[in-house]
Structure 1
């Protein structure tokens, strides 16, 4: 079998890396394409995954529209040479378009609701759409497969991930020293239009409050002013999950990182609101489940409310141990998603008929 994976975001590398390794061990040919965005190249290189560049990232609706045509064409030319049996991506319109043109099946993974533009551009052309079982949107039942797990469990399930304590030395943290990871995003993605997070201009005040309980490390997609830059985290991207594992708290605007921290057993707080002021976590199935079923992650619309909850957690000296117990419950309930994805791809289309409902 020949499988083409397209990487649209660094987080997709984590999702697919174990699946790629499993498929290659099984004797299958794998092709990876990616765009030049953020840390994508560094991360692919760090994991030793060869890839072909299929174009630049585009910001702004007009540029994204023009860019889509260019990327579709570039990806088509790459795929035509590789001749895949299956094409796969994460809410990836390019994969769906090219697969449709080539009359090949496309498998689209998605765990994010309310991304209207991407949904319109992707779902009608996709062959299969895989989501967590807690996904809140309706999907065509003739295409939909539900997975009893989150995408983060494709790479952070205990069978797939062992934290590296040496990461602490690399950031100058002593054993048992408390630290907090804070995330700022760029808000440039199409699914971020109309959303907002930590109040602009209040970032330093936010950090100073957290700093009373430990070191604060900032990871940011956007430029930071000189007063914030001293907090910026300087670490190889492949070490980020070990850093999250040992943290006392994750808090910030990055939804993927919030879910990652939660499944690692680290107290996690996501800050993001709609234009009407409602927390976006209310509309996202995995966030709602992580908060309401497992009490392992919280989401807020306002940064002052989030900070108040963060302080409450940091004041509890037993919070880290309590979260590890919550994580154990979660892991017992969920599956190793990388194993499931490997099986589904290897045995497609029979796997679709076997797994056409809840796995």
Structure 2
């Protein structure tokens, strides 16, 4: 059986890569886009992958134009590969192509606030795999597709499988428990209602940390223009700044960090599962984070500069973080196995027809 996988972000590239090991009897190939560190990470983790198109930018017209180009390219590729099923983290481009040529779709989603993407993709899927804490937000789609919830969050897939290695931060000149990770927000996404906050809020917190502590800061911008703005905004602290410019499994960096600040969701989720305090500056509700917080994992929103010292002073140790990581592995289901089970079910049904 041949399976086509589409991954639009580094998180998705990583998550779906484990299907290759979970289902070794299947033949997988990945499509992704030229965005962030997708290409570099795919080269590390996938046996067969294709970079098709790029991010459509911030304007509606740009997004539509690039989507149409990608769909045409994906169609040509898929016709040559003839896959039996498709797995996607709600990519409108790949879902439209797969559905159009009769390839069954397994979709995954954990962002109910991304409503337009959900409307474009979920009705085309045979099954939608979602974390239990957000399942209720997708109930309206139950008449169009089967909703398959699992206990936990997608990030457990690699947090549970990865043994943190302190050589990774040290290779970047970072001392364990003496640096902070800062990730800017996805300002070009339609659901980011305050694009300026994607950069300005993390930047403000970074300046505070550099002024009040002697820690280094690992910066992980999403776009070249964000990197330029960060370098300009943090001028004078160059000796304590490190820009992440190579593909890494971030668990190694998050585990040994003192704090993580991010304008998105994934890195905050990963860090909290590892016992590293995480602050999300996303200007909206993140249901997955509320779920983790209720289960005792250290993820915070709405944090002000006045609250930062308390979070930075929180007791942390390698042993303590390992206990939190073990708790996450025990408490939650493995999402990769859940996705694999749904994929096998669909392919089994297809063989009967």
TM bucket (normalised to shorter chain) is: 0.7 to 0.9
Q: Write the distance in 2 (CA, Å) between the matches of 1:307 and 1:324.
A: 28
Q: Secondary structure at the match of 1:138?
A: helix
**CA deviation profile, 1:131-168 (whole Å, cap 9, x unmatched):** 001114133234211011211112211xx111112113
Shift of 1:326: 4.2
**CA deviation profile, 1:244-300 (whole Å, cap 9, x unmatched):** 111111112121111111112211111121xxxxxx23xx33111012232421122
Shift in alpha-carbon separation, 1:127–1:248, aligned structure 2, 3 A: same
For the 8 Å contact 2:2–2:28, the answer to whether it is kept is yes
Q: How does 1:1-20 map to 2 (within 5 A)?
A: 1-20=1-20
Q: Write the distance in 2 (CA, Å) between the matches of 1:313 and 1:320.
A: 17
1:225 equivalent in structure 2: 231
1:258 aligns with 2:268: yes
For the 8 Å contact 2:203–2:233, the answer to whether it is kept is no
Which structure 1 segments of 5+ residues have no match? 274-279, 353-359
For the 8 Å contact 2:185–2:199, the answer to whether it is kept is no
Q: Write the distance in 2 (CA, Å) between the matches of 1:112 and 1:235.
A: 26
1:215 equivalent in structure 2: 216
Q: Write the distance in 2 (CA, Å) between the matches of 1:306 and 1:351.
A: 52
Number of aligned residue pairs: give it.
335
Q: Write the distance in 1 (CA, Å) between the matches of 2:308 and 2:113.
A: 27
Which structure 2 segments of 5+ residues have no match? none
Q: Secondary structure at the match of 2:219?
A: strand
Q: How does 1:1-359 map to 2 (within 5 A)?
A: 1-23=1-23, 25-26=24-25, 28-59=26-57, 60-135=59-134, 136-139=136-139, 140-141=141-142, 142-157=145-160, 160-174=161-175, 176-194=176-194, 197=197, 200=200, 203=203, 206-209=206-209, 212=213, 214-221=215-222, 222-223=226-227, 224-228=230-234, 230=238, 231-234=241-244, 236-273=246-283, 280-281=284-285, 284-300=286-302, 305-318=303-316, 324-348=322-346
Shift in alpha-carbon separation, 1:258–1:323, aligned structure 2, 3 A: same
1:355 equivalent in structure 2: none
**CA deviation profile, 1:319-358 (whole Å, cap 9, x unmatched):** 7765554443332210122222223323336699xxxxxx
For the 8 Å contact 1:266–1:324, the answer to whether it is kept is no
Q: Secondary structure at the match of 2:250?
A: helix
Structure 1 segments, 4+ long, off by >6 Å, are: none
Q: Write the distance in 2 (CA, Å) between the matches of 1:271 and 1:145.
A: 29
TM-score normalised by the chain length of structure 2: 0.86
Q: Write the distance in 2 (CA, Å) between the matches of 1:287 and 1:257.
A: 11
For the 8 Å contact 1:13–1:43, the answer to whether it is kept is yes
Q: Secondary structure at the match of 1:216?
A: strand
